[in-house]
Amino acid sequence: MRTFKNKVALITGAASGMGKYLAINLAKEGADVVICDVNEDGLKETEKIIKSYNVGSSLLVLDVRNKKEIEELPSKIIENHGKIDLVFNNAGVVIPAGFLNMKEEDWDWCNDINYNSIINFSRSFLPHLMKDEETALINTSSIFGIITTPNNTVYHASKFAVRGFTESLIKEMEGSNTQIHCVYPGHIGTNIAVNAKFGNQISKGESKDGILGLNGEPIKDIKGERVSEEEAGVRFRDAGMDPDKAAKIILRGVKKNKKRIFVGIDSKLMELSQRLLPDSYWKIMSFTLFLGLLFSPHRLKKVINLAINKKS
């Protein structure tokens, strides 16, 4: 795809993080954007920025679990914008919790947002996308759709499912007008962990209280004190890649028709470590993440400053 100019793009989860910056960067490049999310205030913020680029836009307060609304969406967008060229299935949530402690309704909630919505959007929009030249369906999985960590079963299950579905669809759709992409972000500094529905986690370490890291051990600050859920969410946001940069990487991948779009050196390194060390990669995850930071001095500085509680 050479350009996004005069395209019409739908972005789910556009009130925050990568979805927000996908919408802004698409508008900057001259695309009409249809932004949807459950967070109306966040959507309005995104819309305000989009309006400054003089492109068409629509704001939809939409829960991606609502199958009926998704079925009606293509005709609504075509009525308002004339066509639909790009669909970014980006909305997502996370529940860091042990499987044995998780309520069934939480399991379904996460899968309905992260995975089932993508099936419903794909089913509703693909017939319309396939009618035109240069169209694309972009589904966001995660590096956690390739590697696994403890206390994250439902997130991994949903993201592995997105990957399996999308990578099979890529093969099925080869040669068609519609590009299919699967996105694998690493650690991106968004609100996803701030808004996480934390559940009871199963500790591999000395205590069952507080927040556990990717290796199943309690997260502690530099003074050896346990980190709260709220603090863990804020630290996650502040230490990750700038979501604007992440959105630009995704859009570059779509232009180049890269089927698998890895976002961040950490994502690429974790994928590699999974292939080289399938049984033990997660035990050296902290080292892999540290290695990733060495390639990104700006983020390394941010992480060090966060650890010693200084502003970067």
- CB nearer ligand NAD, residue 191 or residue 201: 191
CA distance 194 to 171: 36
- The answer to whether 227 and 240 have CB atoms below 8 angstroms apart is no
Contacts with ligand NAD in 29-68 (CB under 6 A)?
37-39, 42, 63-65
Write b or e for each residue in 36-53: b if 16 or more Cβ atoms lie within 10 A of its Cβ, otherwise e: bbbbeebbeebbeebeeb
Q: What residues contact 118, with CB distance under 8 A and at least 6 apart?
A: 89, 139, 162, 165, 166
- CB nearer ligand NAD, residue 74 or residue 92: 92
Residue 17 engages ligand NAD in binding (rule: CB under 6 A) = yes
Binding mask 105-124 vs ligand NAD (x if CB under 6 A, - otherwise)?
Answer: --------x-----------
For 10, 18, 137, 181, 257, the CA distances from 90, given in Å and listed in that order, are 10, 8, 11, 12, 18
Among 10-18, 118-126, 164-172, 211-219, which window interacts with ligand NAD (CB under 6 A)? 10-18
Residue 98 engages ligand NAD in binding (rule: CB under 6 A) = no
Looking at 115, 155, 184, 281, which residue is catalytic?
155
- Name the token pair of 229: 């859920």
- CB nearer ligand NAD, residue 131 or residue 298: 298
- CB nearer ligand NAD, residue 237 or residue 255: 237
- CB nearer ligand NAD, residue 64 or residue 211: 64
Among 12-20, 23-31, 77-85, 279-287, which window interacts with ligand NAD (CB under 6 A)? 12-20
Instruction: Please state the closest distance from residue 143 (CB atom) to ligand NAD, in A.
Output: 6
Catalytic residue list contains 184: no
Contacts with ligand NAD in 157-176 (CB under 6 A)?
none
- The answer to whether 81 and 4 have CB atoms below 8 angstroms apart is no
Residue 96 engages ligand NAD in binding (rule: CB under 6 A) = no
**Closest by alpha carbon to 127, among 170, 192, 56, 176?**
176
Instruction: Classify residue 9 by its DSSP letter.
Output: E
**Closest by alpha carbon to 251, among 58, 13, 19, 62?**
19
| Residue in the block written with tokens 């400053």 | 305
The three-state secondary structure class of 269 is helix
Residue 18 engages ligand NAD in binding (rule: CB under 6 A) = yes
Half-sphere exposure of 165 (CA within 13 A, CB side): 23
Residue 249 engages ligand NAD in binding (rule: CB under 6 A) = no
Size of the site for ligand NAD (CB under 6 A): 30
Instruction: Please state the closest distance from residue 205 (CB atom) to ligand NAD, in A.
Output: 23
- CB nearer ligand NAD, residue 64 or residue 97: 64
Max Cα distance, the chain (Å): 59
Residues that bind ligand NAD (CB under 6 A): 12-13, 15-19, 37-39, 42, 63-65, 90-93, 113, 140, 142, 185, 187-188, 190-192, 195, 240, 243
Annotated active-site positions, please? 155
